[in-house]
Structure 1
Amino acid sequence: MSSLSRRDFLLSSALLAGAASLTGATPELDPSRSRAKRPSGKEPVRFAGIACGGKGESDIMEMFNAGAEVIAVCDVDTRASDKIIRQIKGKFPNVRVYQDYRKLLDRERDLHAVTVSTPDHMHAPISLAAMERGLSVYCQKPLSWCVNESREMKRMAAKMGVTTQMGNQGSGNDVLRRTVEAIQSGLLGDVTEVHAWTNRPIWPQGIDRPKQVDPVPAELDWNLWLGVADERPYVKDAYHAFNWRGFKDFGTGALGDMACHLLNMPFRALQLGSPTSMQPELDSNWAETYSRRSKVRFEFPARGKLPALTLYWYEGGLKPDKERVSEVLELQKDKDKLPGNGVVIRGSKGMLYQGDDYGTSSHLQLKGEEKAQLIVRHPAVKAVPITLPRTNNHYREWLEAVSTGASTYSDFDIAGPLTEFVQLGCLAQRVNQRLEWDATSSRVTNFDAANAFLRRKHRSGW
């Protein structure tokens, strides 16, 4: 099995020749744009929804239902924008429609905010352009396509003073926040082992690039869909509107798609920060797409009083050995079968099991207890102080913060580093090598070709 495909090797060599350091300076922005735009008085947040299909549709409708005013929508496929217009035109009959987000941002001067729900490769370009104009941003997960983009988005948000939030909606749930409080209180003791697994991918991976070429539908602007990615022919159902997730040029595979949900709680509770190494195990290695099944082992150093930790990620049907999750099996109807998604955190005093994607259902079992209990009912948790703010709605939390200037629980200050950690795992999957990461210098130290993929080279004209 080759560790780095010929296509990736040639690309990495070209990019490394001109790659700047991730820690390099960024040109100063126009001072006239260095202030966030916010509603005055009791007026609603005026926003534009960029991408209207799939998560874009649900993000727009969540903001709509939470009381925001929809000023404009944008989608490269007019079938998606037409559908959303039919849903909101009764309340907002004058919503303007765009195919090109750049025209929307240039023309819509009365906006306060945007939602960004495109394929992964366009998250950062659109979000950065919006923030540069003083607009607050709600961006879908993962925050970016590569490490450098996550850092740039965090930096831009801080520079412009805008309100941000990533779309890992479990962040707004009381159970997730209570679980973070419980773990940080020391209930689990010294945590040295985390296991997380997902039933994804549920889209094509482990395949080559399609060879056929199909006519582009009249409703779709294929050049705008590609955006910063390299040019390639349109193929019906190959990429748009769902199957792009497994293709390395557009998506970030199962790890990029789900880890910002599944590992959101442990990343916060255990103050993980940056790993020092990532070891992938792939069932196969493909130039175009991520593999069908994969396991990644992350090593994290000691963090203050917290000990060094190993985190294992499983996808494509792979799961932890049964002896590492025996308490979880006891909770299942089928005692021999794990559910499709979950997280287990093992400490010196007990075990915590997150039983869903979003961190909204957790069980705790301390040493000496016969069975795990829901964390919200566990007697030991009742004595843990409430230290985190609460919200009744992830989307409303962002809208209220856009109005007040407050921070959100999943702003880019936390979403950026979380996504960076996830992207480092994706990087190891891409090059199929154990990688050693130096967070201080922001470089892979043992396999230089991997450093080319820390940032993206944009297509000409983008």
Structure 2
Amino acid sequence: MVQEKNNQGSHESRRSFLKNGALAAAGFMIVPRHVLGGKGFIAPSDRLRVAGIGVGGKGESDLSEIAKGPADIAYLCDVDTRRAANSVARFPKAKFYKDFREMLDKEHKNIDAVTVSTPDHQHAVAAMAAMQLGKHVYVQKPLTHDIFEARALTAAAKKHKVVTQMGNQGASGDGVRQMMEWYNAGLIGDVHTVYCWTDRPVWPQGIPWSSMKAEVPKELDWDLWLGTAPYKDYIDKLVPFNWRGWWDYGTGALGDMGCHIIEPPFRILGLGYPKSVECSVGSVYVDEFKRGYFPESCPPSSHVILKFDGKNGKEITLHWMDGGIQPERPEELGPNEVMGDGGNGAILIGDKGKMMCGTYGRDPQLLPTSKTKQTTVPQTIARVPEGHYVQWVNAAIAGANSDKNKLISSPFSIAGPLTETLLMANLAIRSFDIKKEKDGRTSFPGRYIKLLWDSKEMKITNFDDANQFVKRTYRQGWSLGV
């Protein structure tokens, strides 16, 4: 628990002064509570006071995992009391708010750390507000909704010296560490190509916004839920899950699964910001004779190609595929063997060999898979037995300058650039559908070109229309505070 300074000064009474002086004269010594309590005793000052922003669904499970560590869930905040009901019941001592701004304003002196498990479009404003108050933050993936926000949060974490973690729990798993040890041992050589894929989305995408206005559930504060997003009338079934398929709120399959699937190769290869991106996307049939693209909604499927500068000046190509699209099976993989975990996975192709894994970096395999059990390399990377959540709790208690913070699996210094990579892919997808009039005809100038990225200036250099997706405009009344 963060200790507040006790500035008693002249307010200390003469009586208290005399009492303290008498105790000292009598030779009494004040003993820390952990000494009095004996082995295993955790003093209140050694527990983290946590406030949860977005406490239904994933937020509920996040708080439940965090509570397994030396943490007290002290405050709950959600715009939907239906979604919050389970957390309210689970943590009955926690005070409840609907607006995180009000909660932070009134309770910041009683909060050490904050979790953010809202829809994507609210991640950055909530996390930034907490960090600016010096609070440690755990933020669900993807870290942010746009590229500018990712860069801003990465800088803020460093500036405010807080302990940060993104909610891609596979980053603390054994799988990615095993793959790093194989890679560092030179088993697959220099990697030049990576394939990542998912069978998501499992929510509606590639569809027009409904014209059928629905009644807002009485438990939901729709204006607060919209937050930074443009105002629109509520539509049925948008909450709690289908928002993921709309650009105003979600980041599609890339935002949902990319942080879990791209993270292993991103970490293993030490990738930074991409230098170029291109894509192709699937469409839907509007009627018998016409295909449709709906710019408000993420497409039903996509294939994105990102280029990075690798080590030793060698280029690395990363392919992302969603909507059920998968890469060609490696020839080293048997015809009946599962590629990745089936619906999701990653394959790293080097000049000496290949390896693959499933979601979260689970079930890592050298190819052919018979090599996996036959190969032994020294364990050089520490595992995380306490898990992703408690790792963050322990580091937050220890403080930003502690050795425990240096071991955090997905701090914003890593999670920020990883999120930018996903959002760069989404920028290409959205640029694909930009329409313009040319010679009296509708054209799509963002299609079929490679977008070149200047990471320092945060801009596409060869197609300016794409830069509108680097930083979005917030609805009036909302600000990132930078």
Indicate the TM-score class for this superposition, using the shorter chain for normalisation.
Answer: 0.7 to 0.9
Query: 1:298: how far off?
Result: 1.1
Aligned twin of 1:226? 226
| Whole-Å separation in 2 of the counterparts to 1:329 and 1:288 | 41
Question: Is residue 166 from structure 1 mapped to residue 157 from structure 2 by the alignment?
Answer: no
Identity %, equivalent residues: 40
The Cα RMSD (Å) is 2.0
Segment of structure 1 superposing worse, 63-72 or 188-197 = 63-72
Q: 1:357-372 to 2 correspondence within 5 Å? A: 357-365=359-367, 371-372=368-369
Question: Is residue 439 from structure 1 mapped to residue 455 from structure 2 by the alignment?
Answer: yes
Amino acid at match of 1:158: K
Query: 1:154: how far off?
Result: 0.7
SS in 2 for 1:257: helix
The answer for unaligned runs of 5 or more in structure 1 is 1-31, 33-38, 366-370
Question: Is residue 299 from structure 1 mapped to residue 296 from structure 2 by the alignment?
Answer: no
Q: 1:245-324 to 2 correspondence within 5 Å? A: 245-284=244-283, 285-301=293-309, 303-305=310-312, 307-322=314-329
| Whole-Å separation in 1 of the counterparts to 2:226 and 2:261 | 28
Segment of structure 1 superposing worse, 395-404 or 187-196 = 187-196
Residues 220-248 of structure 1, C-alpha deviation per residue, up to 9 Å, x if partnerless? 000000000000001120x2110011100
8 Å CA contact retained: 2:185, 2:377: no
Question: Is residue 343 from structure 1 mapped to residue 346 from structure 2 by the alignment?
Answer: yes
| Whole-Å separation in 1 of the counterparts to 2:313 and 2:180 | 15
Query: 1:389: how far off?
Result: 5.7
| Whole-Å separation in 2 of the counterparts to 1:328 and 1:399 | 40
| Whole-Å separation in 1 of the counterparts to 2:133 and 2:117 | 18
Question: Is residue 326 from structure 1 mapped to residue 331 from structure 2 by the alignment?
Answer: yes
| Whole-Å separation in 1 of the counterparts to 2:377 and 2:198 | 32
Q: 2:88 aligns with which of 74, 77, 85?
A: 85
| Whole-Å separation in 2 of the counterparts to 1:104 and 1:221 | 16
Question: Is residue 189 from structure 1 mapped to residue 189 from structure 2 by the alignment?
Answer: yes
SS in 2 for 1:65: coil
Which TM-score applies when normalising by structure 2?
Answer: 0.81
Question: Is residue 112 from structure 1 mapped to residue 117 from structure 2 by the alignment?
Answer: no
Aligned twin of 1:9? none
| Whole-Å separation in 2 of the counterparts to 1:259 and 1:309 | 17
Aligned twin of 1:156? 156
The answer for unaligned runs of 5 or more in structure 2 is 6-41, 284-292, 400-404, 433-445
Amino acid at match of 2:451: L
8 Å CA contact retained: 1:182, 1:384: no
Amino acid at match of 1:438: D
Question: Is residue 66 from structure 1 mapped to residue 69 from structure 2 by the alignment?
Answer: yes
Query: 1:279: how far off?
Result: 1.0
Consecutive aligned runs of 4 or more in structure 1 exceeding 4 Å deviation? 39-42
Aligned twin of 2:392? 398
SS in 2 for 1:410: coil
Query: 1:100: how far off?
Result: 0.5
SS in 1 for 2:332: helix
Rg (Cα) greater in structure: 2
SS in 1 for 2:266: helix
Q: 1:174 to 1:374 in 2, by over 3 A?
A: farther
Q: 1:44 to 1:268 in 2, by over 3 A?
A: same
| Whole-Å separation in 1 of the counterparts to 2:321 and 2:180 | 22
How many residues align structurally?
Answer: 406
Amino acid at match of 1:386: T
| Whole-Å separation in 1 of the counterparts to 2:233 and 2:458 | 35
Segment of structure 1 superposing worse, 53-62 or 160-169 = 53-62
Q: 1:300 to 1:103 in 2, by over 3 A?
A: same
8 Å CA contact retained: 1:178, 1:386: no
Q: 1:400 to 1:450 in 2, by over 3 A?
A: same
